[in-house]
Structure 1
Amino acid sequence: MATSTVARPSDLRETLRQMLAVLQQERHALAGLDLDMIMGCASNKADLCGTLADVDQTLVDEECRGLLEAARRQNEANRKVRNLIAANVSARLDALSGSAPLYRANPQVHRLRTA
């Protein structure tokens, strides 16, 4: 894990820009179902999170807040795509196996579909 080298607001902005770039790469990797790139992005995000772990809150200026919000939005969008891909894989595996799924996040929806 990376050690924190964030000592100035400019360091924080650069780290947040790096995070946004990695999140953008992850988006492209998810779109292309590129597993190697997805795993590389996960590793890079973990390293950047390690760098951001001990950042002094006084370094967070207005520009950093904007970068943080952009990173939150991109991370959430990527999370939704990952969940959709996982749900699609689950549905295909269930269909192939002909068995009932082991897990459903919302069992009411499943009952309505099968009724």
Structure 2
Amino acid sequence: MSSSDLRETLRQMLAVLEEERQALAGLDLDAIVGASNDKNRLCGTLDEVEPVELDEECRGMLDTARRLNEVNRQVRNIVAANVSRRLDALVGGPQLYRAGATYAVAGARA
């Protein structure tokens, strides 16, 4: 892959990560799934790149992509935690299944 192709792929990844952030903020499931598919496709393209091919501009875009991906991951986790909390509220308590409680009971029996 040439340097110009790599830069273009990284620019696309940055755009997809921004789209994902907006989709997460709007809880737009179709856009979240689309961004996930785009990220997977672009990761396949990036798998072909050897680390020695990276110049300073590419390293900067990679660092930005890492940070954006991490922020998006944290937002996904917050959304998932909020959903769990709301589901727990609907049933009037904590989830019916909690691995920690199950392991505690299993350990007490042993």
| TM-score normalised by structure 1 residue count | 0.81
2:58 is the alignment partner of 1:58: no
TM-score (norm 2): 0.84
Equivalent in 10, 28, 36 of residue 22 of structure 2: 28
Equivalent residue number for residue 91 of structure 2: 97
The runs of 5 or more residues in structure 2 that have no matched partner are: 101-110
CA shift, 1:83, in A, is 0.5
Letter in 1 for 2:77: N
Distance 1:62 1:22 in 2: 21
What is the root-mean-square deviation in Å for CA atoms of aligned residues? Answer: 1.6
Number of residue pairs the alignment of both structures matches: 99
d(CA) in 2 for partners of 1:26, 1:103? 30
Q: Offset at 1:45?
A: 0.2
CA distance in 2, matches of 1:104, 1:90: 15
What is the CA–CA distance in structure 2 between the aligned matches of 1:70 and 1:92, rounded to whole Å? 33
Unaligned runs of 5+ in 1: 1-6, 106-115
The alpha carbon displacement at 1:103 in A equals 4.3
Deviating beyond 6 angstroms after TM superposition, the runs of 4 or more aligned structure 1 residues are none
**Structure 1 counterpart of 2:12:** 18
User: Aligned residue for 1:84?
Assistant: 78
